[in-house]
Amino acid sequence: MQKNNIIIFGYETFGQYLYESLLDADYNIKIVSFDDKFTSKAKEQNIDIIKIDIKKDSDIQSLNIDEYHDLLYCAMPKTADNLFLVLTLRALYKDAIIIAMSNSHENTRKLRYAGASNIVDMYEATSRRVVNILTKPAVTKVLDEIVYKQNRLKMAEIKIPKNSPLVGRSIEDVDFKEMGIVLIAIIDEALDHKFSFTDHRINHRLDDNDTLVVVAMRDDLEIFKSNLQNV
Amino acid sequence: MDNKPWLVSLAYYLASSRKYQKIKDFFYNLLENSHYKYNKFFNIFMIIVVLVSVTSLVIDVQYDIPNWLNNFDLYFVTIVFIIEYILRIWVYSDIKKIIIEEYEERIFFGKKLSLVRLYIKIFKDKWSYVSSLPSIIDLLAILPSYRGLRALRVLILFRAFKMLRYTKSLTGFLDVLKRKKTELLTLFTLAGFFIFIAGIMLYVIEGNKNPHIHNLFDAFYWALVTISTVGYGDIVPVTPEGRAVSMLIIATGVGLIAFITSVIVSAFSERISSLREEKVFQDVSKKRHLTVLCGYGLLGRLIAKGLEKEKIDFIVLDIDEKMTALADNDGYYALNADATKSKIFEEIGLKDNIAHVLCMTSDDIQNAFIAVNVKSLNQNIVVTARCSDSDVAKKLAFVKVDHIIMPEDIAGKMGVVYAGEPAAFEVLLSIIEHKHKTQIDEIHITAESYFDGKSIKEIDFNSLRLIFLGVVKANKEMGDFGSFIFNPQKEYILHGGDKLVCIGYQTAIANVKRMV
């Protein structure tokens, strides 16, 4: 995995949580803020915060964003600021990956229109979780382990390299289960770039550059990955 | 012990009889408790009886009614009414308690029990019911059955009145009027005063000149007809002085009527929200396993939608009237209430009605306050609280909140998934937010169903079109945390009570759910 820069705009609660979670995953993280309010907390934690003015393009350009490698998270506390930020970033960097925080369907639509590549709808995810706690305790437990606790189980994507033993075989022929891997979805490079769930309705033939989306124990995942490489 | 009067012995006997209490409770609930499930049927039954009897009595005025209907009215209706009347007197209060209290008090002071005093006390107690308006109406409604006196037929009116008892909306109307008793009384006294003065004046002025005014009653009748702006015109003043009196009371009449109308209307608008609230309470109190959603902000609304989809009974509480109105408009049960106070939860029914409380206001401290409130009232209620601050989360955990939800944390964790694995993130988002028809779901294996005792190998998940993630074990001995078995071995045997966690197309999941 290449070590990309991650830039978090806004250091309110979401930014803080994102930062803490990302620390474990070991990335280069820059935090950019426009507000003095939260910089003091960051100072306590010994985090350097870059302060800029959101309205000035020159300020943003001074961050030296690499639009092909950096991940940009927009998590401004105010929706209006967030929207403006997404707009500015998209105008400056056409190919950058911009992930925006949203708190409603309506804002999700606006952010998408403004050019966000992906949007995390905070309340949508939260409300699903609350309802799941009430109705699907088992599902809650599983999602907890995969997404929120992230210690044993992991959801990951794996690109099938050239010359991998998997190339040319169909999904049904490969015993993923034996390897401790549960295959959930596949992005078939030959068809389109959209993912499809591998719920056995269609039997895919695996090609190189296809991406597998799997859930597995961390150890099994590493073994699986290295097996793919070492032919 | 034997020197106890038989009345006291009987009271003691009944007080110790569980069966007696059970029967009395049943009748009390049937007659008086609107939350009791059979109360509604009793009321409907009585309304039908009343309608049939009123109709038959009205028809009887001009036509002959068939004999069987007459008998029905004479015997059946009368007997039903009499039984109801007696039952209501019976359940109104507890005589045996009065007797026992009186007896024990006397014994305590070493005095002899005076039976006369006791009878007076009992009589007084029951009299307070018998002399109340509803009871008088009940009694009067029985009388038209007596065929000897035709004048008693007028009392049919009271049978119609009796229906008030059985319809909540009508009693609500009377309640509203009761609240404005003083205002209405003042206005009616004023009106009576005007009618009195005007009537006397007209009688003095025209008593011997107007051919239609024979006595003082005619003059009062004229005054009422005029002041109410009805104006039949059967009696009209014929002298200029009489007309002058008319002009005066017409002017006051218009003002008075407007006044009375406005008092009644304002009384209603004041009461309308509480009438709605009562309706909500009534509906909600019948539900079991109710979920209480506190806070109807952005998150609250989304949760409400989700709960509705999953067909969970819930009620929205919000301290802001606008939010409550919004929830009400969205078609949910909603109450404008302060969830940090115990009152509202007690009213909904703490013991067996509320299963979950979701504290979802945007304020961490409020949520903690609500959580503490609920947990202190009943530890068994499952509380889910939202908070943004990890310090608050620690405090919530301290008060044993069952689930702590941190929206920013959840979003942050999802953001992390994206950082490494954008494609996995897409898939995850799709599963979590139900974007496609493929979703993650759990399948409960019931004992002795198709899956019970089968190994994973035997269940062909491929042909079921499901992605099998793992099993959540039924027995809690292994601890809540470790009980999820990811991707179990092919030899793993499933048991009743286990939950399979699968990803699959909606119909595929529904199909399997039908199998188990």
Closest listed residue to residue B25, CA positions, set B83, B67, B87: B87
Q: Do B467 and A195 touch (CB under 8 A)?
A: no
Q: What is the pLDDT of residue B350?
A: 64
Residue linked to tokens 């979590």: B432
Please check whether residues A93 and A193 belong to one and the same domain.
no
Shared-domain flag, residues B227 and B302: no
Q: How far apart are CA B449 and CA B472, in angstroms?
A: 17
3 state SS for B206-226: HCCCCCCCCCHHHHHHHHHHH
Looking up residue B190, the CATH number of its domain turns out to be 1.10.287.70
Are residues B135 and B39 part of one domain?
yes
Mean pLDDT score across all residues of chain B: 84
B409 interfaces chain A, CB cutoff of 8 Å: yes
Of the candidate ranges B184-193, B446-455, B470-479, the one whose mean pLDDT is the lowest: B470-479
Query: How much of chain B exceeds pLDDT 90, in percent?
Result: 17
Strand ranges of the sheet holding B382-386, from the earlier edge strand across to the other edge: B333-336, B314-318, B290-294, B354-359, B382-386, B403-405
B332 and B386 in a common domain: yes
For A107, name the nearest residue in chain B, comparing CA atoms only: B298
Question: Is B93 exposed, middle or buried, given 0-12, 13-18 or 19+ CB atoms closer than 10 A?
Answer: middle
pLDDT at B2 over 70: no
Tokens found for residue A92: 């400056």
- pLDDT class of A20 with cuts at 50, 70, 90: confident
* Cβ–Cβ below 8 Å for A213 and B356: no
Residue A109 within any structural domain of the chain: yes
Residue B436: name the closest of B342, B374, B506, B365 by CA.
Answer: B506
- B407/A130 touch (CB, cutoff 8 Å), yes or no: no
Residue A65: partners with Cβ closer than 8 Å, 6 or more residues away: A7, A72, A89, A92, A93, A96
Last residue of a domain, one of B224, B243, B273: B273
Domain identity same for B269 and B291: no
Among A17, A134, A156, beta carbon nearest to B291: A134
Residue pairs spanning A and B at CB distance below 8 A: 221
Q: Is residue A135 part of a domain?
A: no
Q: Do residue B490 and residue A101 have CB atoms under 8 angstroms apart? A: no
Contacting B residues, span 434-453, partner chain A, CB-CB under 8 Å: 434, 436, 438, 440-442
For the CA atoms of A13, B319, B404, B485, the dihedral, rounded to the nearest 10 degrees, stands at -120
Given B245, B273, B301, the domain boundary residue is B273
Range of the domain at A32: 5-122
CATH code of residue A167: 3.30.70.1450
For B203-221, how does the pLDDT look when each residue is reduced to its tens digit (9 = 90+)?
999 988 889 999 999 999 9
Do B265 and B223 reside in the same domain of the chain? Answer: yes
Q: Closest partner residue to A139 among B407, B409, B441, by Cβ?
A: B441
Q: CA-CA distance, B398 to B383, in Å (whole number)?
A: 13
Residue B428 lies in a domain: no
| Residue among B305, B312, B427 whose CB faces A195 most closely | B427
| Neighbour count for residue B486 (Cβ, 10 Å) | 19
Is B47's pLDDT higher than 70? yes
Position A39 confidence tier, pLDDT thresholds 50, 70, 90: low
- The DSSP code for B73 is I
Q: Is the pLDDT of residue A154 over 70?
A: yes
- pLDDT at residue B390 in the model: 82
Q: Are residues B253 and B391 in the same domain?
A: no
Closest-CA distance, A159 to chain B, in angstroms, reads 10
Best of A122, A149, A198, A212 to substitute, by most chain B Cβ atoms within 10 angstroms, is A122
Are A71 and A175 part of one and the same domain?
no
Q: pLDDT band for position B200 (50/70/90)? A: very high
Q: Do B501 and A138 touch (CB under 8 A)?
A: yes
A58-67, B91-100, B153-162, B297-306 — most confident range: B297-306
Which of B417, B468, B516 is the best substitution to test chain A (most A C-beta atoms within 10 A)?
A: B417
Residue of A25, A143, A199 lying closest to B508 (CB–CB)? A199
Contacting residues of B for A136, CB less than 8 Å apart:
441-442
Measured CA to CA, the distance from residue A202 to residue A172 in angstroms comes to 10
Q: Which amino acid is at B59?
A: I
**Has residue A67 been placed in a domain?**
yes
Please check whether residue A166 lies inside any domain of the structure. yes
User: For residue B406, which residues of chain A lie inside 8 Å, CB to CB?
Assistant: 17
d(CA A107, CA A182): 34
Give me the residue from B405, B469, B470 closest to A130, CB to CB: B405
A139 domain-assigned: no
In chain A, which residue's Cα lies nearest the Cα of B473? A138
Both A117 and A16 in a single domain? yes
Interface check for B91 against chain A (CB to CB < 8 A): the answer is: no
What domain range is B125 assigned to? Answer: 6-166
Q: B253 vs A13, which has greater pLDDT? A: B253
Residues in chain B within 8 Å Cβ distance of A156: 420-421, 424
Q: How many CA atoms lie within 13 A of A156 on its CB side?
A: 18
Residue B50 and residue B159 in contact, taking contact as beta carbons nearer than 8 Å: yes
Each residue's pLDDT tens digit, B89-123: 988 888 888 888 888 888 888 877 788 888 888 88
Please tell me the total count of domains within chain A: 2
Of B299, B388, B468, the CB nearest to A13: B388
Between B213 and A27, name the one with better pLDDT: B213
Q: Are residues A171 and A118 in the same domain?
A: no
Of B246, B273, B300, the residue that ends a domain is B273
Please indicate, yes or no, whether residues B186 and B160 belong to a single structural domain of this protein.
Answer: no
* Contact residues on chain A for B503, CB-CB shorter than 8 A: 184, 197, 199
The tally of domains found in chain B comes to 4
Which pLDDT score, from 0 to 100, does residue B351 have?
Answer: 64
Mutation for testing the B interface, residue in A1, A120, A222, A224 having most B CBs under 10 Å: A120
Share of chain A above pLDDT 90, in %: 2
- Phi-psi label, residue A176: left if phi above 0, alpha if psi -120 to 50, beta otherwise: alpha
**CB-CB under 8 Å, B425 with A143:** no
Mutate to test the interface with A, among B303, B311, B439, B513 (most CBs of A within 10 A): B303
The stretch B502-506 carries a mean pLDDT of: 84
* Radius of gyration, CA atoms only, chain B: 35
Average pLDDT over residues B196-200: 93
Residue B345 above 80 pLDDT? yes
Determine contact, residues A128/A140, Cβ cutoff 8 Å.
no
| One domain, residues A66 and A156 | no
Q: Give B400's contacts (C-beta < 8 A, 6+ positions apart).
A: B375, B379
Residue-wise pLDDT tens digits, A73-103: 888 888 888 899 999 899 888 888 888 888 8
The residue in chain A having the minimum alpha-carbon distance to the alpha carbon of residue B402 is: A133
Handedness of CA B473, B475, B476, B482 (dihedral sign): negative
DSSP-derived letter for residue B457 is T
Both A65 and A16 in one domain: the answer is: yes
Task: Check which CATH number belongs to the domain holding A115 and give it.
Answer: 3.40.50.720
Residue contact A142–B440, C-beta within 8 A: yes
Q: Is the pLDDT higher at B463 or at A84?
A: A84
- Say if pTM beats, i.e. exceeds, 0.80: no
Residue A38 clears pLDDT 70, i.e. is over it:
no
Chain A interface disruption, residue of B290, B294, B302, B464, most A CBs within 10 A: B302
Averaged pLDDT for residues A177-195: 78
Above 80 in pLDDT, residue B253? Answer: yes
- Picking from A103, A122, A141, the residue at the C-terminal end of a domain is A122
Confidence of residue A67 (pLDDT cuts 50, 70, 90): confident
Least confident piece of the model among B59-63, B364-368, B396-400: B59-63
* Residue B387 and residue B300 share a domain: yes
Contacts of A129 in chain B (CB under 8 A): 405, 410
Q: Are residues A166 and A115 in the same domain?
A: no
Both B161 and B187 in one domain: the answer is: no
CB contact under 8 A, A148 and B463: no
DSSP string, B276-314: HHHHHHHHHTT-SSEEEEE--SHHHHHHHHHHHHTT--E
* Chain A environment of B508 (Cβ under 8 Å): 199
pLDDT tens, residue by residue, B275-321: 788 888 878 877 778 899 999 988 899 899 989 988 888 999 999 98
Statement to judge: residues A108 and A217 lie in one domain: no
Q: A26 to chain B nearest CA, in Å?
A: 10
H or E segment to which residue B101 belongs: helix B95-108
Residue B478 has a pLDDT of 44
Mean pLDDT of A146-170: 80
- Both B221 and B325 in a single domain? no
Residues B487 and B390 in one domain: no
- Alpha-carbon Rg for chain A in angstroms: 20
Determine, for residues B434 and A128 on separate chains, whether the beta-carbon distance falls below 8 Å.
Answer: yes
- Which of B416, B433, B500 comes nearest A18 by C-beta? B416
**Is the domain of B138 the same as that of B17?**
yes
Query: Rounded to the nearest 10 degrees, what angle do helices B156-166 and B39-62 cross at?
Result: 160
Q: Are residues A166 and A110 in the same domain?
A: no
Q: What is the reported pLDDT for B480? A: 46
**Which residue of B408, B472, B473, B481 to mutate against A (max A Cβ within 10 Å)?**
B408
